[in-house]
Amino acid sequence: MKPDNAAPQDLPEALRQAWPGMLVWVLGWGLLQGLDGRMDLSNLAMLLVLSSAIATLWLPVLASLALSTVAVLAFNWHFVPPRGTFHVDLGQHAILLGAMLLLNWIVAALLAARQQQASRARRLASQAEQLRLWGDRLRDAADPLAHAGALHEALAALAGGAVATLMLRDGPQDTSDQHLLTLGEPDAEQLAGLWHCLRQAQAMGPGTGRHQELPEWYVPMRGRGICLGAAVLHGQIVQRGDAEVRAHAQALCDQMGLALQRLHSVREEARAREQAQTQGVRNALLAAISHDYRTPLATIMGAASSLASQADKLSAEQRARLAHSIVEETEQLSRLTDNTLQLARLDAPGVALRCDWESAEEIVGAVLRRVRRRDPARRVRARLEPELPLLWCDGLLLSQMLDNLVDNALKYSPDEAPVEILARRVGAQVLLAVRDRGPGVAPAWRERVFDVFHRGAGSMATATPPTPTEAPVAAIDAPSRRGAGVGLAVCRAIARAHGGELRLRPRGHGGSSFECSLPLRPAPPPPPQAEPTDAPTRPSAVPDAP
């Protein structure tokens, strides 16, 4: 046996919504019967009109009009004399009954119109809220295509039937199959319609004014001056050609179109930025080669020409000096080439480092061995904290960074001033620093010395030469020192490629400290050691003596 409250749920939807109105009519008619003889006819008529007005709040307009007509006829039969007949006194009761019927119809029509307006207002408010939430979701989405399924479900619920969508992943310039996102199962005719709708950027179907003979709606996903997708909707609402529903579907699709256009614009901007960066590096490399390679090449050419044409006229000391000049200028060219090419590689997007677990002691030791050839006075010293953890890094790049910093310190420090390489742990980082006792760097230049192709007294090509008050006392490539201004730029690029940072800190009694902070990673577990065996070692065979 079903419970009492389950009975209304088994009735049709219209009857479930209308039963309060029917109840009002029953109660009103019962009240008329109870007040019969106690109130005059006009008051009973007003009670009937009141019952009709209240019942109209729940009844459909046609049902309310029909019930009002039946109620007026029943009122005439039961309450209007002569009772039990439909005869009325034309002078008195006909006007009363006509006014009752007309008033009931007017009230029913007005309430029905009000209900329709309220229902439409609720529907529009719900659609506006859905559009707001949908816009917020797409605005915060890194990839709008991830929400294509949500759009497909919203359109299906709106149309009450099958839906298929077609979207371009990478903009209108690439329409190949691997760059399309299709949801649903469109047939060949619908797929052709989707492509036509996308290219024309116009809706098609019932009520659109274009191809109204089609049984479906084709709705474009439009951006600003571009169309990046389309949807096809099929259902009963589509057949009716409901303009409000189609406008809402168009608004949902247009928001997706705008989101796809933003994604396309961001990708195009990234591509343009990468191209501009690549072109800028290429131009800087050409400028460096055309400008800063000339002096060492001219020196090498002059020294080599002198040795080739006048070797017999030169003393041994002069020949040694020319040979040393060739070696020194060749090293300068090699270092300049390495720095410039390394800077171009690190500035390229998507660069991958060749990282491995490296020992800070070995990296510093390799730098010291190379520096000894340029530092016969052994001014460079190293101070390392014991038991430093291993570094997950590209050992060659860190060696190049320290080598550049040491070479910079040797150039701009007095001949007797020491240069120190420091390595120690600071919290969850390892600090690699190169310190000198030179004249230091002016405050206005402590960040500009890291700019690519900047020398201490200005830029190689584009920077405005600084005033004498802001020129640094020491920088990696001062006018009196050869170079393209890439040494410190490479050092900072190497540090940042490892997730660290390179900073310049002035020292208290003169000099500079270039400090690179590198993050630490958990060290790898030590390899398992082989267990000792108790088996006796087999002696090697020794050939018999002859």
pLDDT of residue 359: 92
For the chain, the 3-state helix, strand and coil shares in percent, each to the nearest 5, are 55, 15, 35
Lowest-confidence region among 3-12, 76-85, 466-475: 466-475
Rounded to the nearest integer, the mean pLDDT of the chain is 78
Token pair 């419970």 in the structure block, residue: 3
Could you tell me the two tokens for 57?
């709040």
Is the pTM here over 0.75, yes or no? Answer: no
Name the pLDDT band for 370 (thresholds 50, 70, 90): confident
Dist CA 441 CA 503 (whole Å):
12
Identical fold, 143-268 and 348-519: no
- DSSP string covering 412-442: TS-TT--EEEEEEEETTEEEEEEE--S----
User: Mean pLDDT: which of 10-24, 62-76, 249-263 is highest?
Assistant: 249-263
At 109-119, the pLDDT tens digits run: 888 788 788 88
Query: What is the percent of the chain with per-residue pLDDT over 70, rounded to a whole number?
Result: 80
Reduced to 3 states (helix: H, G, I; strand: E, B; else coil), residue 512 is: strand
Q: Give strand ranges (E) for 244-390.
A: 356-358, 380-384
**3-class SS at 220?**
strand
Q: Which tokens hold the place of 242?
A: 């409901």
3-state secondary structure of 451: coil
Amino acid at residue number 157? A
Q: How many CB atoms lie within 10 A of CB 242?
A: 18
State how far the Cα of 304 lies from the Cα of 325, in Å rounded to an integer. Answer: 10
Level-2 CATH architecture, domain 143-268? 2-Layer Sandwich (3.30)
Task: Return the amino acid letter for 178.
Answer: Q
Between CA 433 and CA 476 the distance in angstroms is 16
Residues forming beta bridges with residue 219, ordered by sequence position: 231
Q: How many helices (H) and strands (E) does the chain have?
A: 14, 13
Closest CA to 125 of 133, 231, 138, 110: 133
Beta-ladder partners of 424: 431
What value, to the nearest 5°, has the Cα angle with vertex 139 and ends 147 and 200?
70
Is pLDDT at 16 greater than 80 in this prediction? no
d(CA 339, CA 345): 10
- What fold characterizes domain 348-519? Heat Shock Protein 90 (3.30.565)
Taking only the tens place, the pLDDT of each residue in 416-461 is: 889 999 999 998 999 999 999 888 888 877 777 887 555 544 333 3
Residues 517-534 have a mean pLDDT of 70
pLDDT number for residue 541: 37
Domain layout of the chain by residue ranges: 9-119, 143-268, 275-308+315-345, 348-519
